[in-house]
Amino acid sequence: MAAERLTAQAVAEASARVMWENDVTCRALGVRVEEVGPGRSTLSLTIDAQMANFHGTCHGGYIFLLADSALSYACNSYNRRSVAHVCSITYLQPARLGEQLVARAEERARVGRTAIYDVSVRNESGELIAEFRGQSRTVEGKLLPELGEPE
C-alpha cells in the first residue's frame, strides 16, 4: 500500500510528535512546544530557581538549550533526521527567575543537506534576551519512515 501524501504542515506536526516522545531533556525541564511548521518552531520555558546562576539570573546554558531545541524542531520538520552542525548565541540581557522565555526559530536557507536558522529568544514582555544562529545538517533516515513525501 502506498504511503499517504501529507501536507507540509501535517508532516511538521507528525515529526514534532515523534521528537517530543523521545525528547527526555525538554520534557524534564518543562519546555513546551507551542507551534511547529515547515522550517519553523516556537518553544517556551519558564525559568525556575534550579536554573539560576551565581548572579541570581538564568544560566545561559538553559537559554542556549531552549534556542537549540527550537532549531531542532524546525530543522526536523521535514521528516528528515537533522542535527545541529554549527551554533552561536549572543546574550543581550539576563533572563530573570519566573520569566517565561519564548524561542522562535525561522529557516533562512536550505540547500542540499545544510540549512541555516535564526532563533530569537524573548521574555513574556517581548524583550529580546538572546539571538541564536544555527546551521543544521541532515543525516541518514527519517523520523517517520512510513510517511509519504509532503505535497
pLDDT of residue 123 exceeding 50? yes
Instruction: Let me know: does 135 contact 87? Beta carbons within 8 Å.
Output: yes
Domain-located, residue 146: no
CATH, residue 88: 3.10.129.10
HSE (side-chain half, CA atoms, 13 Å) at 54: 0
Return all residues near 141 (Cβ < 8 A) that are at least 6 apart. 80, 81
Domain-located, residue 151: no
Phi, psi of 78 (to 5 degrees): -100, 10
Digit-coded pLDDT (tens) for 75-104 = 999 999 999 999 999 999 999 999 999 999
Domain-located, residue 143: no
Cα 40 to Cα 107: distance, rounded to the nearest angstrom: 6
Q: How many domains are contained in the chain?
A: 1
Domain-located, residue 50: yes
Phi, psi of 49 (to 5 degrees): -60, -35
For 20, the domain range is: 8-138
Cα 87 to Cα 25: distance, rounded to the nearest angstrom: 19
Domain-located, residue 145: no
pLDDT at site 145: 82
Digit-coded pLDDT (tens) for 22-67 = 999 999 999 999 999 999 999 999 999 999 999 999 999 999 999 9
